[in-house]
Amino acid sequence: MNKAIALAVVFLMVSPAAADEQDQVKEDLKVKLDSSVSLEFKEKPMEEVLDHIRRMKGINIAVDPTAREKLAELGENVSIKLDDVKTRTALKFILGQKDLSAVYRSGALVVLPKDQVKKSVHVKIYYIHDLLMSIQDFNPPKITPMSSMSGGGGTFGEVGGGGPVFGLTLTIEDDPRESKLEDDFVLNMIRNNTGGDSWTENENTNMTISNGMLVITQTKKVHEEIQKVLGAMRLLR
Protein backbone atom coordinates (compact mmCIF):
# COMPACT_ATOMS: atom_id res chain seq x y z
CA MET A 1 0.00 0.00 0.00
CA ASN A 2 1.32 3.47 -0.86
CA LYS A 3 1.29 6.31 1.63
CA ALA A 4 1.36 9.98 0.57
CA ILE A 5 2.26 12.52 3.21
CA ALA A 6 2.16 16.29 2.71
CA LEU A 7 3.70 18.47 5.39
CA ALA A 8 5.44 21.68 6.40
CA VAL A 9 7.42 21.48 9.64
CA VAL A 10 9.49 24.16 11.37
CA PHE A 11 11.72 23.37 14.35
CA LEU A 12 12.93 25.92 16.92
CA MET A 13 16.59 25.16 17.59
CA VAL A 14 17.11 27.78 20.33
CA SER A 15 15.77 28.25 23.83
CA PRO A 16 12.41 30.06 24.17
CA ALA A 17 14.01 33.10 25.84
CA ALA A 18 16.70 33.42 23.17
CA ALA A 19 14.13 32.91 20.43
CA ASP A 20 11.90 35.64 21.87
CA GLU A 21 14.82 38.05 22.03
CA GLN A 22 15.89 37.30 18.46
CA ASP A 23 12.32 37.63 17.22
CA GLN A 24 12.02 41.05 18.87
CA VAL A 25 15.28 42.24 17.30
CA LYS A 26 14.12 41.12 13.87
CA GLU A 27 10.71 42.70 14.37
CA ASP A 28 12.31 46.01 15.39
CA LEU A 29 14.54 45.89 12.32
CA LYS A 30 11.57 45.12 10.08
CA VAL A 31 9.76 48.20 11.40
CA LYS A 32 12.81 50.37 10.69
CA LEU A 33 13.23 48.96 7.19
CA ASP A 34 9.55 49.57 6.46
CA SER A 35 9.74 53.21 7.59
CA SER A 36 9.97 55.95 4.96
CA VAL A 37 13.12 57.81 4.06
CA SER A 38 14.17 60.55 1.64
CA LEU A 39 17.76 60.66 0.40
CA GLU A 40 19.81 62.79 -1.96
CA PHE A 41 23.50 62.11 -2.52
CA LYS A 42 25.62 62.78 -5.59
CA GLU A 43 28.88 60.91 -6.07
CA LYS A 44 29.40 60.18 -2.40
CA PRO A 45 31.24 57.17 -0.93
CA MET A 46 28.79 54.36 -0.28
CA GLU A 47 29.90 53.93 3.31
CA GLU A 48 29.12 57.60 3.94
CA VAL A 49 25.58 57.06 2.63
CA LEU A 50 25.17 53.90 4.70
CA ASP A 51 26.43 55.73 7.79
CA HIS A 52 23.79 58.41 7.21
CA ILE A 53 21.06 55.74 7.14
CA ARG A 54 22.60 54.03 10.15
CA ARG A 55 22.43 57.20 12.25
CA MET A 56 19.07 58.40 10.93
CA LYS A 57 17.23 55.07 11.33
CA GLY A 58 19.19 53.43 14.12
CA ILE A 59 19.96 50.40 11.97
CA ASN A 60 23.11 48.44 12.67
CA ILE A 61 24.79 48.15 9.25
CA ALA A 62 28.16 46.41 8.90
CA VAL A 63 30.20 46.29 5.69
CA ASP A 64 32.03 43.01 5.20
CA PRO A 65 35.67 43.16 3.98
CA THR A 66 34.64 41.34 0.79
CA ALA A 67 32.18 44.15 0.07
CA ARG A 68 34.95 46.71 0.57
CA GLU A 69 37.05 44.81 -1.96
CA LYS A 70 34.15 45.02 -4.39
CA LEU A 71 33.87 48.77 -3.83
CA ALA A 72 37.59 49.20 -4.41
CA GLU A 73 37.18 47.33 -7.69
CA LEU A 74 34.05 49.12 -8.95
CA GLY A 75 34.51 52.52 -7.29
CA GLU A 76 33.12 53.66 -3.96
CA ASN A 77 30.90 56.56 -5.03
CA VAL A 78 27.15 56.28 -5.51
CA SER A 79 24.40 58.73 -6.44
CA ILE A 80 20.83 58.56 -5.21
CA LYS A 81 17.75 60.78 -5.08
CA LEU A 82 14.67 59.22 -3.52
CA ASP A 83 11.64 60.78 -1.86
CA ASP A 84 9.47 59.02 0.71
CA VAL A 85 10.37 55.41 -0.06
CA LYS A 86 10.81 52.48 2.30
CA THR A 87 14.26 52.27 3.82
CA ARG A 88 14.64 48.70 2.53
CA THR A 89 13.95 49.96 -1.01
CA ALA A 90 16.55 52.70 -0.65
CA LEU A 91 19.15 50.23 0.62
CA LYS A 92 18.42 47.83 -2.22
CA PHE A 93 18.89 50.63 -4.75
CA ILE A 94 22.11 51.88 -3.15
CA LEU A 95 23.73 48.47 -2.78
CA GLY A 96 22.56 47.31 -6.19
CA GLN A 97 24.65 50.02 -7.88
CA LYS A 98 27.78 48.11 -6.83
CA ASP A 99 26.42 44.56 -7.15
CA LEU A 100 26.06 44.27 -3.37
CA SER A 101 23.30 43.00 -1.11
CA ALA A 102 22.88 42.35 2.61
CA VAL A 103 21.94 39.57 4.99
CA TYR A 104 20.59 39.63 8.53
CA ARG A 105 23.06 38.31 11.11
CA SER A 106 22.79 38.61 14.87
CA GLY A 107 20.79 41.82 14.88
CA ALA A 108 22.71 43.56 12.09
CA LEU A 109 22.57 43.98 8.33
CA VAL A 110 25.84 42.74 6.87
CA VAL A 111 26.70 44.09 3.42
CA LEU A 112 28.18 41.45 1.09
CA PRO A 113 28.73 40.92 -2.65
CA LYS A 114 25.58 39.43 -4.18
CA ASP A 115 27.32 36.20 -5.11
CA GLN A 116 28.43 35.81 -1.49
CA VAL A 117 24.88 36.32 -0.22
CA LYS A 118 23.74 33.34 -2.28
CA LYS A 119 26.41 31.22 -0.56
CA SER A 120 25.96 32.69 2.92
CA VAL A 121 25.65 29.78 5.35
CA HIS A 122 24.50 29.24 8.92
CA VAL A 123 25.25 26.44 11.36
CA LYS A 124 22.28 24.68 12.95
CA ILE A 125 22.06 21.70 15.27
CA TYR A 126 19.15 19.29 14.87
CA TYR A 127 18.51 16.82 17.68
CA ILE A 128 17.65 13.51 16.02
CA HIS A 129 18.02 10.97 18.84
CA ASP A 130 14.44 9.86 18.16
CA LEU A 131 15.20 9.16 14.49
CA LEU A 132 18.20 7.01 15.37
CA MET A 133 16.11 4.74 17.59
CA SER A 134 14.28 1.65 16.39
CA ILE A 135 11.78 2.48 13.63
CA GLN A 136 9.94 0.70 10.84
CA ASP A 137 12.27 -0.33 8.07
CA PHE A 138 11.14 0.85 4.67
CA ASN A 139 12.33 1.23 1.11
CA PRO A 140 14.09 4.58 0.58
CA PRO A 141 11.31 7.10 -0.09
CA LYS A 142 11.20 9.75 -2.76
CA ILE A 143 10.51 13.27 -1.47
CA THR A 144 9.34 15.87 -3.97
CA PRO A 145 7.97 19.42 -3.58
CA MET A 146 4.24 19.83 -4.22
CA SER A 147 4.56 23.48 -5.18
CA SER A 148 7.03 26.31 -4.78
CA MET A 149 6.58 29.99 -4.07
CA SER A 150 9.27 32.46 -3.06
CA GLY A 151 8.98 33.97 0.40
CA GLY A 152 11.40 35.69 2.72
CA GLY A 153 14.88 34.31 2.43
CA GLY A 154 16.70 36.23 5.07
CA THR A 155 18.13 39.09 3.01
CA PHE A 156 17.65 42.67 4.20
CA GLY A 157 14.68 43.10 1.85
CA GLU A 158 12.97 40.06 3.33
CA VAL A 159 13.45 40.33 7.09
CA GLY A 160 10.43 38.87 8.78
CA GLY A 161 9.50 36.76 5.75
CA GLY A 162 8.72 33.09 5.88
CA GLY A 163 11.22 31.75 3.37
CA PRO A 164 10.29 29.48 0.47
CA VAL A 165 6.82 28.07 0.97
CA PHE A 166 6.10 24.59 -0.28
CA GLY A 167 4.84 21.21 0.78
CA LEU A 168 6.52 17.85 0.44
CA THR A 169 5.06 14.64 -0.89
CA LEU A 170 6.74 11.51 0.45
CA THR A 171 5.75 8.09 -0.90
CA ILE A 172 6.88 4.72 0.51
CA GLU A 173 6.01 1.06 0.29
CA ASP A 174 4.97 -0.56 3.58
CA ASP A 175 7.53 -3.06 4.87
CA PRO A 176 7.04 -3.51 8.63
CA ARG A 177 10.49 -4.79 9.60
CA GLU A 178 12.06 -3.21 12.68
CA SER A 179 15.56 -1.79 12.35
CA LYS A 180 17.81 1.03 13.49
CA LEU A 181 18.03 4.08 11.24
CA GLU A 182 21.71 4.46 10.39
CA ASP A 183 23.58 7.76 10.34
CA ASP A 184 24.44 7.38 6.66
CA PHE A 185 20.78 6.87 5.76
CA VAL A 186 19.83 10.17 7.42
CA LEU A 187 22.71 12.02 5.74
CA ASN A 188 21.87 10.60 2.31
CA MET A 189 18.17 11.37 2.70
CA ILE A 190 18.98 15.00 3.43
CA ARG A 191 21.66 15.33 0.77
CA ASN A 192 19.49 13.74 -1.94
CA ASN A 193 16.32 15.69 -1.14
CA THR A 194 17.54 19.19 -0.24
CA GLY A 195 19.84 21.84 -1.59
CA GLY A 196 20.26 20.54 -5.13
CA ASP A 197 23.90 20.88 -6.20
CA SER A 198 24.76 23.23 -3.34
CA TRP A 199 26.26 20.37 -1.30
CA THR A 200 29.05 20.05 -3.87
CA GLU A 201 29.15 23.53 -5.42
CA ASN A 202 29.18 25.58 -2.20
CA GLU A 203 32.45 24.82 -0.43
CA ASN A 204 31.08 26.33 2.80
CA THR A 205 28.48 23.59 3.36
CA ASN A 206 28.97 20.66 5.71
CA MET A 207 26.92 17.96 7.46
CA THR A 208 27.83 15.51 10.24
CA ILE A 209 26.11 13.42 12.93
CA SER A 210 27.59 13.06 16.41
CA ASN A 211 25.94 11.69 19.56
CA GLY A 212 22.45 12.03 18.15
CA MET A 213 23.04 15.59 16.95
CA LEU A 214 22.89 16.49 13.28
CA VAL A 215 25.18 19.49 12.68
CA ILE A 216 24.62 21.21 9.34
CA THR A 217 26.22 24.23 7.71
CA GLN A 218 23.98 25.44 4.88
CA THR A 219 22.06 28.43 3.58
CA LYS A 220 18.86 29.51 5.29
CA LYS A 221 16.79 28.33 2.33
CA VAL A 222 18.24 24.83 2.48
CA HIS A 223 17.83 24.69 6.28
CA GLU A 224 14.10 25.22 5.72
CA GLU A 225 14.07 22.27 3.31
CA ILE A 226 16.00 20.14 5.82
CA GLN A 227 13.44 20.84 8.54
CA LYS A 228 10.68 19.55 6.28
CA VAL A 229 12.56 16.36 5.39
CA LEU A 230 13.25 15.59 9.06
CA GLY A 231 9.57 16.23 9.79
CA ALA A 232 8.57 13.76 7.08
CA MET A 233 10.90 11.12 8.49
CA ARG A 234 9.45 11.58 11.98
CA LEU A 235 5.93 11.03 10.68
CA LEU A 236 7.01 7.66 9.33
CA ARG A 237 8.08 6.34 12.74
Q: Which among 56, 22, 25 is positioned nearest to 39, based on CA atoms? A: 56
Distance CA 235, CA 108 (A): 37
Confidence of residue 144 (pLDDT cuts 50, 70, 90): low
Identify the DSSP state of 165: B
DSSP 122-155: EEEEEE-TTTTSEEEE-PPPEEEES--B----SB
Which domains, from first to last, does the chain contain?
Answer: 22-115 (3.55.50.30), 120-235 (no CATH)
Model pLDDT for residues 37-74, shown as the tens digit of each residue = 999 999 999 999 999 999 999 999 999 898 999 999 99
Q: Which among 143, 125, 137, 134 is positioned nearest to 193, based on CA atoms? A: 143
> Residue 127 pairs with which residues in a beta bridge?
213
Q: Which residue has the higher pLDDT, 11 or 28?
A: 28
Model pLDDT for residues 166-185, shown as the tens digit of each residue = 555 555 555 544 445 688 88
For range 205-215, the mean pLDDT: 89
In the chain, the largest separation of any two C-alpha atoms, in whole Å, equals 71
Confidence at residue 132, expressed as pLDDT on a 0 to 100 scale: 82
Model pLDDT for residues 79-125, shown as the tens digit of each residue = 999 999 999 999 999 999 999 998 887 788 889 898 887 777 888 89
Identify the DSSP state of 67: H
